[in-house]
């Protein structure tokens, strides 16, 4: 059971369908691992549905309402996918859906871009307003010290890391912004795999690495 969760504002925006795709994928993947947040999102969706029901129906053109309802009737419910035992054996269970669908392979088969003891793999490259990537941090290794010009959301997929005295494990979401200068360190007994989404560049702040900022695509 995760101990660290997306903010209530993020969960509310997810329930309303107003999150960007990268953040929505991260929140949805957390929901796959967190029954507490699933219940919260269900409650927000129920409240939203009740508000819609309470709206004065006279303000809605009847022909428009009938058209929308008829289209809903035509939508067939999605059929669950039944996987064979052989196909299931190929699934990397460290990565829940919907994130798994964006990878095309297991974590071990990705073409990692390695910097020291940290590997990186970009996804959702068409989303110019956000940077989305997977990180593979070797056991016991630190991330480069850095801060942010915006918000960073990091979801732990496997292993864990410590940051500012907090220990994040599978399913946990760490949130950082421009007020935080940090250097997360992976647990010593296992490589840590994370999915991170930033909505602005991060900046290296280490004694020497900060001079590399102009040359690094972060």
CB 129 within 8 Å of CB 201: no
Where do the domains of the chain lie, and which CATH numbers do they carry?
Answer: 1-218 (2.60.120.10)
Encoded tokens for 217: 């695509």
Q: Collapsing DSSP states into helix, strand and coil, what is residue 168?
A: strand
The pLDDT score that the predictor gives to residue 50 is 56
Closest CA to 95 of 29, 139, 10: 29
Cα 174–16–125 angle (5° rounding)? Answer: 55
**Residue owning tokens 């039944």:** 82
Q: Residues near 116 by Cβ (< 8 Å), separated by ≥ 6?
A: 141
Identify the pLDDT of residue 202. 84
Splitting the chain (218 residues) into consecutive groups of 10 residues, what average pLDDT does each group show? 96 94 97 96 80 53 50 46 48 93 92 94 92 97 92 97 97 95 96 96 71 43
Length of the chain: 218
pLDDT of 47: 74
Cα–Cα distance, 174 to 166 (Å, whole number): 9
SS3 153: strand
Tell me how far apart the alpha carbons of residues 133 and 37 are, in angstroms, rounded to a whole number: 23
- pLDDT value at position 79? 47
Q: Contact at 8 Å (CB) between 68 and 52?
A: no
Give the pTM: 0.79
- What is the C-alpha separation between 204 and 216, in angstroms, rounded? 9
Tens digits of residue pLDDT in 16-40? 999 999 999 999 999 999 999 999 9
Q: Kindly report the backbone phi and psi dihedral angles of residue 209, in degrees, each rounded to the nearest multiple of 5, phi listed first.
A: -65, -25
Q: Taking Cα atoms as reference points, which of 150, 45, 154, 32 lies closest to residue 96?
A: 32
SS3 73: helix
């Amino acid at each position: 059971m995760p101990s660290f969760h997306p903010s209530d504002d993020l969960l509310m925006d997810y329930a309303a369908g107003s999150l960007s795709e990268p953040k929505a994928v991260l929140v949805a993947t957390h929901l796959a691992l967190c029954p507490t947040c699933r219940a919260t999102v269900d409650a927000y969706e129920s409240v939203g549905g009740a508000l819609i029901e309470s709206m004065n129906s006279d303000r809605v053109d009847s022909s428009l309402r009938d058209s929308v309802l008829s289209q809903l009737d035509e939508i067939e419910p999605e059929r669950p996918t039944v996987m064979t035992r052989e196909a299931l054996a190929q699934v990397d269970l460290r990565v829940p859906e919907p994130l798994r669908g964006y990878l095309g392979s297991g974590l071990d088969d990705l073409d990692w871009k390695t910097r020291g003891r940290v590997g990186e793999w970009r996804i959702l490259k068409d989303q110019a307003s956000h940077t989305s990537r997977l990180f593979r941090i070797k056991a016991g290794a630190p991330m480069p010290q850095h801060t942010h010009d915006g918000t960073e959301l990091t979801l732990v997929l496997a292993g864990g890391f410590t940051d500012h005295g907090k220990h994040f494990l599978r399913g946990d979401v760490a949130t950082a912004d421009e007020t935080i200068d940090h250097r997360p360190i992976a647990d010593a007994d296992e490589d840590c795999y994370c999915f991170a989404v930033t909505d602005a560049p991060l900046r290296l702040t280490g004694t020497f690495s900060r001079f590399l900022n102009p040359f690094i695509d972060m």
